Amino acid sequence: MNTQHAHEVTGIIPGYLLANLAASGRFTRAAEAARQTLVAGRPAYHSTLELSIGEDGSLIAEVSAAPTRTIYDAQNTEQLPGLIVREEDDAPGADAAVNEAYDGLGATFRLLLEAFERDSLDGAGAPLHATVHYGVDYDNAFWDGTRMVFGDGDGEVFRGFTLSVSVIGHELGHGVIQSASGLVYQGQSGALNESVADVLGVLTEQFLRGQTADQATWLVGEGIFTDAVQGRALRSMIEPGTAYDDDELGKDPQPGHMRDYVDTLEDNGGVHINSGIPNRAFALTATTLGGNAWERAGLAWYRALTSGISPRATFTDFAEATLAAAADLGDDVEAAVAAAWREVGVFEDDRTRSPR
């Protein structure tokens, strides 16, 4: 994968899907857009002051963390960052993509702060930057190490990428991972990088909608495909391999069990493919526990991410870290975590206690 600013540049649309689309005879505009996308590659503390009146009539001032968002417009060029079109506290404008990006950044910030007590991506109030209208018919959205970048899609296969809150949360999730653990974007650690980003993406959407684990779709990028595509989303966390099945795009290749793990040199060793395995482990944990997924399952995953795991952690390494984190959240959480990793074939024994 190309790099920029010495960081991995992570795109929501995997290269293998774009490659299939580039060869399409049915989606001619989208095929050209995919070819252009493949050629292009993936290239201060703010707070809120809340005032209230105490029982004795005194004025109470409370300061809490708040996002500092800046949205840029690339004006369909590939020059970053573009022109500033909306900053923190500016009113919404006429450009839907600008407003969607702004709101999506805010939704992710609120999830991190309220669910995990993390102040922005780095835990220290880092500003949030995003660029919209990148390129012409650009079929991707990516984190370039410093900002979110959104293409508008080709309109034939892909819609605008700001439409999906889970996509926005996913790409900002790469910023959290970059700061918290630096999981290397290759092989199993890369698949974990993609999976944790998916976790943060779906949790952002669920948190925004107030959905419990049972109410959630567990889809990443729902609504990104146009009606011309036979598919619901880019990925399904609860049922990997079922998100799409289209004559031109192919079938969703994600496995949900280690017996189907894909050994490949493509896609940085299958980072977008094999992430289906830890994805399913998280979704199983959350649905087993019920309630809001960010409260217990999400907390176990977040604490594992920030526990000092190796940047080259394997699935087993990360599973052990989630089990250790779950031990502090209750026996039922620990049991659910162990059962989920066993269900996807990462744990082969009947362990129910984390290693000491």
Q: How far apart are CA 227 and CA 29, in angstroms?
A: 15
Catalytic sites, residue numbers: 171, 272
Q: How far apart are CA 99 and CA 90, in angstroms?
A: 10
Rg (CA), the chain: 20
- Answer yes or no: are the C-beta atoms of 12 and 141 closer than 8 Å: yes
Which residues, including other chains, have CB under 8 Å from residue 91's CB and lie 6 or more apart?
Answer: none
Q: How far apart are CA 282 and CA 322, in angstroms?
A: 10
Phi, psi dihedral angles at 4 (to 5 degrees): -150, 135
What's 181's DSSP letter? Answer: T
Q: How far apart are CA 241 and CA 117, in angstroms?
A: 33
- Apex 182 CA angle, 179 and 185, nearest 5: 135
What is the enclosing helix (H) or strand (E) of 251? strand 250-251
CA 172 to chain centre: 7
